[in-house]
């Protein structure tokens, strides 16, 4: 299976800002702040009603942002996000019907995995990029390094989310198992509520510097 180009772009990006938005009107300034700080990938979680409108607005007004949808829990949500222009989809766990629907629709998809059985189910479905969730609580890189060897020859790459932040970003990003990391630390709810776009740009800029420095060593 060929790797969808979007996953190669996410690997270059290195970090995916996970966003929970209550107000779709904040989507565009938020995406612009992330981009200004050097973060060009984000996941809008379908936990709020605003997510779909936010997705359309970012696709329309911030074309350089690689925006996908997260928390895709039902097959019918695949066409909803696809129609709004999502470039990729992710889910916290592995729901076979969701993954099949996504791949049939042409939506590049990274299902959540937490065990070897999950990894094998994802491989069987044709996925090569897998969301490792909740990464830190499961044991972080040491757990992933113990679990992954039987699958490395298949070129499986992982996107850790859950407990990843400024403090452990550098450690994850240089491991060859990792495609990119994701997390909500770049978009704190209080900063979004206050429309403090400068603060979000600064968090993005710090993450960009951490990634670029770690990768250049």
CB of 153 to ligand ELE, least distance (A): 27
Establish if 160 lies at the interface with ligand ELE (CB under 6 A): no
> Which of residues 18 and 200 has its CB atom nearest to ligand ELE in the complex?
18
Burial state string for 129-138 with b = 16 or more CB within 10 A and e = fewer than 16: bbbbbebbeb
CA dihedral (108, 154, 126, 177) in degrees, to 10, reads: -40
Q: Is 136 a catalytic residue?
A: no
Residue nearest to ligand ELE (CB): 183
Establish if 42 lies at the interface with ligand ELE (CB under 6 A): no
Residues numbered 50-89 forming contacts with ligand ELE, rule: CB under 6 A: 70-71
Closest by alpha carbon to 154, among 180, 116, 112? 116
| Whole-angstrom distance, CA of residue 34 vs CA of residue 199 | 10
Establish if 147 lies at the interface with ligand ELE (CB under 6 A): no
User: How buried is residue 164: exposed, middle or buried, by Cβ count under 10 Å (0-12/13-18/19+)?
Assistant: buried
CB of 47 to ligand ELE, least distance (A): 6
CB of 198 to ligand ELE, least distance (A): 21
Instruction: Supply 3's token pair.
Output: 């790797």
> Which positions touch ligand ELE (CB under 6 A)?
18, 43, 45, 70-71, 90-92, 133, 161-164, 182-185
């Amino acid at each position: 299976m060929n790797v969808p180009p979007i996953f190669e772009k996410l690997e270059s990006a290195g970090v995916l800002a996970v966003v929970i938005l209550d107000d779709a009107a904040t989507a565009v300034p938020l995406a612009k702040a992330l981009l200004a700080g050097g973060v060009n990938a984000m996941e809008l979680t379908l936990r709020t009603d605003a997510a779909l409108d936010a997705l359309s607005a970012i696709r329309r007004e911030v074309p350089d942002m690689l925006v996908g949808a997260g928390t895709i829990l039902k097959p019918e949500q695949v066409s909803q996000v696809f129609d709004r222009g999502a470039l990729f989809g992710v889910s916290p766990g592995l729901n076979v019907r969701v993954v099949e629907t996504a791949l049939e629709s042409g939506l590049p998809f990274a299902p959540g995995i937490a065990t070897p059985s999950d990894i094998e189910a994802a491989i069987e479905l044709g996925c090569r990029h897998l969301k490792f969730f909740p990464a830190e609580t499961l044991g972080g890189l040491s757990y992933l390094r113990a679990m992954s060897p039987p699958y490395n020859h298949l070129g499986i790459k992982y996107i850790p989310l859950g407990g990843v932040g400024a403090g452990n970003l550098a450690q994850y990003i240089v491991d060859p198992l990792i495609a990119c990391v994701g997390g909500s630390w770049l978009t704190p709810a209080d900063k979004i509520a206050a429309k403090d776009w400068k603060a979000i740009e600064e968090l993005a800029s710090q993450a960009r510097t951490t990634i670029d420095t770690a990768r250049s060593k």
